[in-house]
Amino acid sequence: MQAQYDLNLILNPSLSAEQLATEKTYIEGAVTNAGAELVNVDEAGNRRLAYSIEKEREGYYLFYTIKASGNPEKDIAASLRLRDNVRRVLVVKDRPEWKTKKA
């Protein structure tokens, strides 16, 4: 059974359009190679960070929704952390109670 996960990434903010396209292609390849399925992609673009990462005060944010079985933290995130332009990787299991709205 596949569970839904959120894959959140912060990339180097000074990437060119070509480099950004290369990174997104690599990320999507890493997701599919791990046996996961891409559901949705949201790009927030360059945003200010709460604290500096490698002396950078901004980062390029990407939010993926994926469906995966097993442990995507081990499979997907481990390979993405080896990329030079990837600053942070976070994989969180999506829970339905987080989406309920209170009256």
Find the CATH number of the domain harbouring 90: 3.30.70.60
Tell me how far apart the alpha carbons of residues 76 and 67 are, in angstroms, rounded to a whole number. 12
Mean pLDDT of 43-58: 90
| Mean pLDDT for the stretch of residues 50-62 | 90
The answer as to whether 91 is a domain residue is yes
Bigger pLDDT: 69 vs 42:
42
- pTM, two decimal places: 0.84
What's the mean pLDDT in 43-68? 91
Residues 69 and 75 sit within 8 Å (Cβ to Cβ):
no
Confidence (pLDDT) at 77: 86
- The type of residue at 27 is I
Residues of the domain holding 51: 3-95
Look at 2-6, 7-11, 90-94, 98-102 and tell me which has the smallest mean pLDDT.
Answer: 98-102
Q: Domain for residue 28, yes or no?
A: yes
100, part of any domain: no
Percent of the chain with pLDDT over 70: 92
pLDDT at site 16: 93
For residue 101, tell me if it sits in a domain. Answer: no
What's the number of domains the chain is made of? 1
